[in-house]
Structure 1
Amino acid sequence: MVYFVRKSAAVLLSLFLLFAALPSGEADASENDKVFVIPVEQTVESGLKAFLERAVEDAESAGADHIIFEIDTPGGAVDAAGDIASLIEDASVPTTAYVVEEAMSAGAYLALSADEIAMAPDTQMGAAQVITGSGNAAGTKVQSSWEKNMQNAAALNGRNPEFALAMADPSVDLPEYSAGKGELLTLTASEAAEVNYAEYTPENREALLQELNLSNAEVQEIEVSAAEKIARFVTNPVLIPILLSVGSIGLIIELYSPGFGIPGILGASSLGLFFFGHMIAGFAGYEALILAGAGLILLAVELFIPGFGIFGLLGAGAFIASLFFASYSTLNIAVSILIALILSVVTVIMMFSVFKKRGPVKRFVLEDSVTTDEGFISNENRPELIGQTGKSLTPLRPSGSMQMGDERLDVVSEGGYIEKGRDVKIVKAEGSRIVVRDINE
């Protein structure tokens, strides 16, 4: 009996040691997990949205188990923020927003849209009131919609919507968090953790991965490509009117310059950047490029083969339509085109007043002149004929011919009819016009 007990104990101890030596299922899963880190940096705008769409799609296609959005943004456009928030909410894998510097304004909205929020020490999140381009608060309708979006994003993941509302509405009074009436709420990392607006406050990414139980996971960072950096730069709402203005003014100045020089290169490059950036960002398709090309060709036809303005109007219409096709915002592109048009008109006026007729404009204006200094003589003046006399060879009615010595002259009478064979006197000689008078009267 004692032997049986000892034998059983030895077997159980061996089994225990065997299972203890085996890696746990949790460790295996962690080692096989894939974590994708996606940066959310600089201004929130449509170019950022295009990059995040590509990044999330790449992560999902690669079988990501978790996505970490590392946020450092002062905010940006409300419409772009709404699209990006939907992208984060609809991701098919768990998401964590990790605030590495700041998540202000639209950035706070993006952070609230993730499944979890982590904030590094000395970071902040909040101050999310809608501000117009002129620096003033947005209208009541827009502000009300934005406040609802902020509250819904907070409630979606079990957070108190009051704090999200205080970030967007300065009338909400939360003095215990330095957000008195008239001030927007901005939470530090410790305050966010206290009110359940941050699940973690890790020092760095490695600490966050430990908090997420993903310390052994394969981490892959998705970087912004060079083309996407250009796209983000040129699709910035502030830069678009500058690109269109430089493009149109450069081409206009080129018309007044011989050959193809720096203004033409700058103009063509600016317009090329506009279309390239919008194509990379996914806003413009080939139809926009085809329309733009057709518009430029028609404008060139109008310039070199005048067609009563028809080709010019069709060309301008096609090119403007291509800008609308390429743009992500009808209002933004309309304002940008208006700015470029005003500056272009001013440039044309200056070109005409300063440089007069130069470039292709000269094709339509006859500027050559013939002068006697260059050897061109249209009519020879003969003042020495004045006072000379002769006889009319033909009746003068009032024009005809006279004989003066050995020379025959074409003349006109000073008054009325002069018969053939009458004595006449030359009283005026202006170029080819010689005037005579009947001296027999």
Structure 2
Amino acid sequence: MTRRDLASFWLALRHMLLMLALLGVMPVQAATVRVLQVDGVIGPASADFILQGLEDVGEVEAVVIALDTPGGLDTSMRQIIKAILASPVPVITYVSPEGARAASAGTFILYASHIAAMTPATNLGAASPVAIGGMPGGGKPSPRPEDDGDDKADKTDAITPSLGGETLARKATNDATAYIRSLAELRGRNVDFAEKAVREAASLSAEAALREGVIDVVAVDVPDLLRQIDGREVTLPAGKRALQTADAAIDTHVPDWRHQALAVLANPQLALVLMMIGFYGLFVEFTSPGFGVPGVAGAICLLLAMYAFQMLPINWAGVGLVVLGLVLMTAEVFLPSFGVLGIGGIAAMVLGGLFLIDKEAPGFAVSLPFIAGTAVAAAGLIFLAGTMFLRSRNRPLASGAAEMLGSLGLVTVSDGGEAWAQVHGESWRVNSPRPLRPGERVRVTAIDGLVLSVEPIESDQGSPS
């Protein structure tokens, strides 16, 4: 090797060492884990928040759903589960903080996630579907016969005649059971407890759930969770992937004002109140036009109520009964039915409120006291408006041409055959059977367009108004 070759070798070696040194001091960008805080019932607002959080996850290592829910709507739950199953990044559902729960719909979401985790002193389960009104006679759906190899027993149970309510409840239970079993088999979790959670409303604490193979991790907080799941392999639509979350940065997302507004609107009791305000606002506007505020407010409230109804599992027969009740109570004001229409309206409104929601879910039920109180308040407002309307009919007119009759005035100008008088602060042309003098008091006897017919009065009969 010549001296020139040796110099070139040492120069290349020095450049390589310099590059390695630079690579050693360059900071390595840490992975990011997105945390979605979900607290409350699973409904349209929470579903939209989670679906939005699972979008644009190109640079995100994983998404953690920090969940605390008593349950919610089946439609919203299935939207969330579909998004989790199709997510290009791992989704970890983490029941937190201490004292939280993942009941009903929350249990399904937990089973669907790539990794299920809980904080100590939390629980999950009680995932039985509940139909509004319950079973006939207060009963419960019959449990599925145990699989003892007797196909005849299963077939007999499937065709056993039953009451309509019991059949619907059994169908809902069997559907929910099959759904959660499929999720448990997909994620390799405890299938037996999944079925018990639906059929028997079984529940487990965090420690028991870990011991029974229902969840994967018990962690005290999110950093502890990320340390424990680091290196675990999950299956995504694109294939298997090992998590790298030990030193990941945490990006926490909470519902913004839009999702909070959706959560408020997705309340059947508020929707019912908005519909009543909208109805009464439009009623006032149509009966007393010109003011504008009741009509504008009523239209806005009615549109908000319709938007809320389309987000909820509404029984439109219930909405129809509520509207019929409002119409009947309004008709009571104008028709002499001696209370028949009013009482019928209250009954229709109460029945409509009871039938308003198709399914009973935490946070979405309309309580009977609320319905009764709302109906009584609506009836009170209608009867109050009717009483005021009847009293106003007996009062003398306060405006218009008819109110001019009998009014007193003072002649201001009398020039030949033409005279003018001051009546109600305005100057009117007047006609009289005899000539009038300026300063003479007159009384209006008739009105013809813009000309008043008057007659002179004695000075002691009163002063002009």
Post-superposition shift, 1:373? 7.9
3-state DSSP class of the match of 1:66? strand
Following superposition, the deviation at residue 232 of structure 1 comes to 2.0
Match of 1:273 in 2: 304
Aligned mate of 1:155, from 161, 181, 185: 185
| CA–CA distance in structure 2, aligned partners of residues 155 and 211 of structure 1 | 23
1:270 alignment partner, SS class: helix
Residue 57 of structure 1 pairs with residue 55 of structure 2: yes
Q: Which residue number corresponds to residue 344 of structure 1?
A: 326
Distance verdict in 2 for CA 1:63–1:371, change over 3 Å: closer
- Once the 2 structures are TM-superposed, how far is the Cα of residue 254 of structure 1 from its aligned partner? 3.6
- Cα distance in 2 for partners of 1:260, 1:218 equals 57
Which of 77, 84, 91 lines up with 2:80 in the alignment?
A: 84
Q: C-alpha displacement at 1:73, in angstroms? A: 0.3
The alignment partner of 2:54 has SS state of helix
CA distance in 2 between partners of 1:144 and 1:196 (Å): 23
Amino acid at match of 1:198: I
Residues 95 and 122 in structure 2, CA contact (< 8 A), matched pair in contact too: yes
In the superposition, relative to structure 1, how do residues 47 and 351 fare at CA in structure 2: closer, same or farther (>3 Å)? farther
Q: Trace 1:124-273 onto structure 2 (pairs within 5 A).
A: 124-134=123-133, 139-170=169-200, 184-213=201-230, 214-257=245-288, 259-260=290-291, 263-264=294-295, 266-273=297-304
Q: Quick one: which amino acid aligns to residue 346 of structure 1?
A: L
Q: 1:45 to 1:161 in 2, by over 3 A?
A: same
Q: 2:37 is matched by which residue type in structure 1?
A: P
The 1:103/1:265 distance shift into structure 2, 3 A limit, reads: same
- Higher normalized contact order (CA 8 Å, seq sep 6+, divided by chain length): 2
C-alpha offsets along residues 117-153 of structure 1, whole Å, 9 cap, x if unaligned? 1110000000010112346666111111011111111
State whether residues 73 and 102 of structure 1, in contact with CA within 8 Å, keep that contact through their aligned partners in structure 2: yes
Q: Secondary structure at the match of 1:84?
A: helix
Aligned length: 283
CA contact (8 A) 2:272 2:305 kept: no
1:67-117 CA-partner distances (Å, limit 9, x unpaired): 101110000111221221111121110111100110001111111110111
Choose 254-263 or 44-53, whichever is displaced more: 254-263
Give the 3-state SS of the residue equivalent to 2:223 in structure 1: helix
**For residues 252 and 372 of structure 1, what CA distance do their matches in structure 2 show?**
31
Structure 2: tracts of 5 or more residues without a match:
1-19, 141-167, 231-244, 335-385, 393-398, 408-465
* Match 1:42 to one of 24, 40, 43: 40
1:245 and 1:343 in contact (8 A); partners too: no
Q: Distance in 1 between matches of 2:178 and 2:213?
A: 19
Other structure's SS at 1:191 match: helix
Q: Equivalents in 1 of 2:295, 2:390: separation in Å?
A: 18
Alpha-carbon separation, structure 1, partners of 2:83 and 2:279:
36
> Partners of 1:351 and 1:205 in 2: how far apart?
61
- CA 1:124/1:273 → structure 2, altered by over 3 Å: closer, same or farther? same
Letter in 2 for 1:90: A
Question: Could you say if the C-alpha distance between residues 339 and 238 of structure 1 is closer, same or farther in structure 2, counting changes exceeding 3 Å?
Answer: farther
Q: How has the CA–CA distance of structure 1 residues 369 and 262 changed in structure 2, closer, same or farther, with 3 Å as cutoff?
A: closer
CA 1:117–1:350 in structure 2 vs 1: closer, same or farther (change >3 Å)? same
Q: 1:197 to 1:257 in 2, by over 3 A?
A: same
Contact map agreement 1:256 1:351 (CA 8 A) in 2: no
- Deviation at 1:346? 3.2
Quote the offset at 1:237 in angstroms.
Answer: 4.2
TM-score under structure 1 length normalisation? 0.56
Report the CA distance shift for 1:218/1:256 in structure 2 as closer, same or farther (over 3 A): same
Secondary structure, aligned partner of 2:64:
strand
Within 2, Cα distance between the matches of 1:372 and 1:246?
38
Mark the runs of 5 or more structure 1 residues left unpaired by the alignment. Answer: 1-18, 171-183, 279-322, 360-366, 376-441
- Report the Cα distance in structure 1 between the residues aligned to 2:90 and 2:320, rounded to whole angstroms: 45
* TM-score, structure 2 as length reference: 0.54
Q: Distance in 2 between matches of 1:93 and 1:371?
A: 79
Please point out which of 84, 90, 93 is paired with 1:94: 90
